[in-house]
Amino acid sequence: MKTKTEVIIEADRNTVWRLFNSPDELHRWQPTLKSITHRSGTPAETGEISELVYVEKGREVTITQTMIERRDPDFVAAVYVSRWGKALMVNHFEVIDDNTTQWMAYANHTFTGMMRLGGLFVGKSIRERAAADMNRFKLVVETEVAENRR
């Protein structure tokens, strides 16, 4: 299943990139994130492997993230693997003007086991979750920009 989600953020791309790549900021826009554990590789570099644990509807969900390519500050791609399947996710940050950035997130989800059938029914919730996360991130970035202008 392929998805594309995008959002316009009223901030320059360097600010967007800095906040997107900060593990300390993830909790602000991914509220179900419980922990991030670095497993191998150089942090924030191609080849890095981390374990992310989310609490979803009272259950812990563990996801292994492998960074497969980075082109700072334009692009980052990673593979996410869980017991339900795998997702290739590509995040692209495009300059609209000096104070506006478009974030486009592309994902290709492949499900395993019983989720192959279930995957047919979760597309809407995956798209809604991605949009909600991106809009929370937009709020985090735009709030920081507004506070720095004071």
- Tally the domains of the chain: 1
Does some domain include residue 48? Answer: no
Give me the CATH number covering residue 85. 3.30.530.20
Instruction: Write the pLDDT tens digit of every residue in 21-48.
Output: 998 899 999 999 999 999 999 988 999 9
Q: Supply the pLDDT for residue 119.
A: 54
Number of residues that make up the chain: 150
Question: 135 is in which domain, residue-wise?
Answer: 2-30+71-149
Across the range 58-78, mean pLDDT stands at 96
Q: Looking at residues 115-139, what average pLDDT do you find?
A: 81
Residues 6+ apart with CB under 8 A from 147: none
Whether 43 is covered by a domain: the verdict is no
pLDDT score for 126: 84
For 120-132, what is the mean pLDDT? Answer: 81
Q: What is the pLDDT of residue 121?
A: 61
Look at residue 107 in the predicted model and tell me its pLDDT. Answer: 96
What's the pLDDT band for 68 if we cut at 50, 70, 90? very high
C-alpha torsion sign, points 137, 133, 89, 24:
positive
Q: Are 69 and 76 in contact (CB under 8 A)?
A: yes
* Domain presence at residue 50: no
Report the alpha-carbon distance of residue 28 to residue 33 in Å, rounded. Answer: 9
Residue 39 lies in a domain: no
Q: How confident is the model at residue 149 (pLDDT cuts 50, 70, 90)?
A: confident
In a domain, 46, yes or no: no
What's the confidence (pLDDT) of residue 55?
Answer: 96
In a domain, 125, yes or no: yes
- Confidence at residue 23, expressed as pLDDT on a 0 to 100 scale: 87
Distance, CA of 3 to CA of 119 (rounded, Å): 13
Residue 15 lies in a domain: yes
Reported pTM: 0.90
Asked if residue 117 is part of any domain, the answer here is yes
pLDDT digits (tens, 9 = 90+) for 75-125: 999 999 999 899 999 999 999 999 999 999 999 999 887 665 555 566 688
Question: Tell me, what's the pLDDT at 84?
Answer: 85
